[in-house]
Amino acid sequence: MFYGEFEHSIDRKGRLILPAKFREVAKAQFVEKFFVTRGLDKCLFMFSEEEWRSQENKFKTMSFTKQQSRTFNRLLFSGAQDVAFDKQGRILLPQYLKDFADIKKDVMIVGVSNRIEIWAKDAWNDFYKNSRQSFEEIAEKLMDVN
> What is the mean pLDDT of the segment spanning 25-43?
95
Residue 141, SS3 per DSSP: helix
pLDDT band at 146 (very low <50, low <70, confident <90, very high): low
pLDDT of 135: 86
Q: CA-CA distance, 44 to 79, in Å (whole number)?
A: 10
Partners of residue 91 on adjacent β-strands: 16
Q: Which sign does the torsion angle of CA 17, 124, 52, 3 carry? A: positive
Average per-residue pLDDT for the chain:
93
Q: CA-CA distance, 120 to 13, in Å (whole number)?
A: 17
pLDDT band at 145 (very low <50, low <70, confident <90, very high): low
Task: Give the global pTM.
Answer: 0.92
CATH code for 2-143?
3.40.1550.20
Alpha-helix residue ranges (DSSP H) falling in the chain: 20-28, 49-60, 67-78, 95-100, 121-131, 135-143
What are the structural domain ranges in the chain?
2-143
Question: What's the pLDDT tens digit per position in 85-140?
Answer: 999 999 999 999 999 999 999 999 999 999 999 999 999 999 999 998 888 888 88
Residue 43 has pLDDT above 90, yes or no: yes
3-state helix, strand, coil in the chain (%, to 5): 40, 30, 30
